[in-house]
Amino acid sequence: MIKKTTNKTPEFMSKIMVFFKKTTFHVPFTQKMMFAYHLQTMTEAGLPIVNALKVLSEELESKNMRTAVKGIKEEVEKGKQLSEALALYPKIFPPVYISMIAAGESAGKMEEALRQISTQMKKTHELLSRVRGAMIYPAIILLAIVGIGLEMVIFVLPKIIIMFNDFDAELPLATRVLVATVNFTQNYGIYASVGLVGLITLGIYLMHRPNIKKIIHITNLRLPIFGEIIKKINLARFSITLSSLLQSTVPIIEAVKITASVQSNVTYHDNLLIAAEELKKGDPLSETLGRHKLTFPPMVTEMIMVGEQSGKIEKMLTEIADYYGDEVDSTMKNFSSIIEPVIILILGVMVAGVAVAVIMPMYSLAQQF
């Protein structure tokens, strides 16, 4: 008698591939924002959630997003809640959005939850756009400085310093440094480049080690100028996220934990987790945050305390978010003005140094005749 064998390998591999796709999707933030906005608009217009997802699975620009939305639609058709279906794609939909939708489903306020998510994503996008926009100018100038410097050292200066090889008198210090730099670049430039790449790679690796990352992030908060910018960005993100979660009726302890997960600075993340644990003991949020003065200034904790006393903490957090959002916007607009003199100073020192190193020997040679 021949036994029938079933090959389970294809089914197993299929499940592995599905899991891999769900956890490794990369989708631009703007596509996620458009998904939330259009889903909110269509559900508020009375379109069933499955129909809305079907439309979005065909209309969104990102192929990965369309595939994900199609998978979410299929899960919802099987009877799953929208929040459960979204949770299958953690790389696209972080816990903050899933929790807000789950709270909206429990309270029967799905449209309101989607509206909160859409608003929160829009504010977050604006905040990130301000920061990135302000960093473009310094980044371009820095790349230009490095590029011009390398071109001078590799192509221009070697031809100039040839004349110094037969120079009988002792060369000035600036010229000796320039000659040594050019010679080193010509002889060991490749090895130096490999070493530099290795150091950068090692530095990136060490920066992701938990203990070292904590030290770096707490040091960043104490830096002049940049420390204040980092604080404002994290406070804006904190207040935007926590306000949205509380307005979606997410319990405050869970809301604080989720807010901790979206902070870019580890110090803010750890302090919020500590605050969440202290909330379980019955301490008010303003008091728990007030114990961390480096990350939460008195103005923030005082406004939260007023909100707790008046029962309008969500409104106060929204005002804090607006305030720090405007502060970040103002600071980023002035960032170019702040950094421009520094860039001009660096360029001036570089040009003056090369000019002095090249001209001084010629001047000395001219005096001998």
How many Cβ atoms from other residues are within 10 Å of residue 16's Cβ?
10
> What's the pLDDT at 366?
64
Q: Which domains does the chain have, with CATH numbers?
A: 19-122 (1.20.81.30), 137-369 (1.20.81.30)
Predicted confidence band at 290 (pLDDT cuts at 50, 70, 90)? very high
Give 6's pLDDT tier (boundaries 50, 70, 90): very low
Give the model's pLDDT for residue 9: 45
Angle (CA) 269 271 274, round 5°? 110
What is the C-alpha to C-alpha distance for residues 344 and 4, in angstroms, rounded to an integer?
Answer: 79
What confidence score (pLDDT) does residue 12 get? 52
**338-351 per-position pLDDT tens digit:** 777 878 888 888 88
Task: For residue 23, name the pLDDT band (cuts at 50, 70, 90).
Answer: very low
- With a cut of 50, say whether residue 236 has pLDDT above it: yes
Tell me the average pLDDT across 226-252.
89
252-261 and 226-247 helices, crossing angle to 10°: 140
Does position 20 have pLDDT exceeding 60, yes or no? Answer: no
Highest mean pLDDT among 8-22, 139-153, 333-347: 139-153
Is the pLDDT higher at 117 or at 2?
Answer: 117
Secondary structure of residue 174 in the 3-state scheme: helix
Residue with tokens 């904790």: 301
Long-range Cβ pairs for the range 88-92 (8 Å, 24+): 88/22, 89/22, 89/23, 89/25, 90/22, 90/23, 91/22, 91/23, 91/24, 91/25, 91/26, 91/27, 92/25, 92/27, 92/32, 92/64, 92/65, 92/68
Chain mean position to CA 365: 55
pLDDT at 335 over 90: no
- Please tell me the pTM assigned to this model: 0.73
Question: What is the model's pLDDT at position 284?
Answer: 93
Binned at pLDDT 50, 70 and 90, residue 332 comes out as confident
